[in-house]
Amino acid sequence: MADNWIEPREVIELVERYVSEELADAERYDNRTPLDRSGVWSLHQLARDIYAHGVKDGTMQEQMRNVHARERAAEAVRDGAR
């Protein structure tokens, strides 16, 4: 899903907070290395991909609810016709 460009403001802020913490830890500890510009971009791409999966799952859930609602409505019509 690397071509996904949707990343909500809240997700951007979470990723940037993580990046800030990683950079601070890299300065504070000898055994940590900072994320470079490419690493930060890749982290945002990962966040976009994860978000896209959530949107897709939410869409599928809504579709399934609608399918079952239509089935119940059709069954109610059939039961009323008897």
Residue whose token pair is 């809504």: 62
Residue 4's φ and ψ, nearest 5 degrees, are: -80, 130
pLDDT band at 71 (very low <50, low <70, confident <90, very high): very high
- List the chain domain ranges: 9-81
Can you tell me the distance from the alpha carbon of 16 to that of 2, in angstroms, rounded to the nearest whole number? Answer: 19
Q: Quick one: pLDDT at residue 32?
A: 85
Q: Is the pLDDT of residue 4 over 70?
A: no
Q: Where are the alpha helices (DSSP H) in 1-82?
A: 9-28, 37-81
Q: What is the pLDDT of residues 8-54, one digit of tens each?
A: 888 888 888 889 998 999 999 999 888 888 989 989 888 888 888 88
pLDDT band at 62 (very low <50, low <70, confident <90, very high): very high
In 3-state terms, what secondary structure has residue 8?
coil
Q: Is the pLDDT of residue 81 over 90?
A: no
